Amino acid sequence: MALSLMVNGVRHSLDVEGDTPLLWVLRDELGLKGTKFGCGVGLCGACTVHINGEATRSCSIPVSAVAGDEVVTIEGLGDGDTMHALQKAWIEHGVPQCGYCQSGQIMSAAYLLANNPAPARDEIVAAMTGNLCRCGTYTRIIEAVESVVS
C-alpha cells in the first residue's frame, strides 16, 4: 500500500502495509532509530512521538492512521543542529542511565511544555507518569524538566 507520511518536515512516499505500526515504519523504513520499542502494547512510552502535536505511542497506531499527518520524532525535535532545550537539560542533568527510554521521556516532556510552558512539579510528575524507566531515573527527569521551566 502506498501512502504519504510527513516526518520531521520531510514528506515520504512509502510502500508498506497499512496496518504496520508507525514505530516500525519509522525505524525500519525511515531509519529513525531514536524511537524505541519497549512493550509494544502502549504501556511504557518508549515509542512516544508527536502526531500533529499530540504525544502518541507509535507502537500502537497503524501507519495508515497517520497518513497525511505531521509526525515528529526525537530526531526532529530540535531546530536543525540546535538541540531542543530539553535535550540540553537531559545532558546537563546527566539524566540517562542505560538511555533506552529517554527519547520517549523527552518527547512526553516536550509535549507537556508545548501545552503548559510553566508546569508545577506535581504537573510534571503527573505528565511523566506514563513513561517507564527501568533504571529509575525519575528524579533526574523531573529535575531536568524543572530546569527548563525555571
Binding site for ligand FES (CB under 6 A): 37-40, 42-47, 57, 59
Grid cell of 34 as nine digits: 531514536
Closest residue by Cα to residue 36 from 80, 102, 120, 96: 102
Residue with smaller CB distance to ligand FES, 59 or 144: 59
Length of the chain: 150
Residue with smaller CB distance to ligand FES, 91 or 126: 126
Shortest Å, Cβ 123 to ligand FES: 22
**Distances from the Cα of 62 to the Cα of 5, 20, 26, 108, angstroms:** 12, 5, 12, 20
Shortest Å, Cβ 2 to ligand FES: 25
Report d(CA 107, CA 53) in Å as an integer. 10
Shortest Å, Cβ 134 to ligand FES: 12
Residue with smaller CB distance to ligand FES, 26 or 89: 26
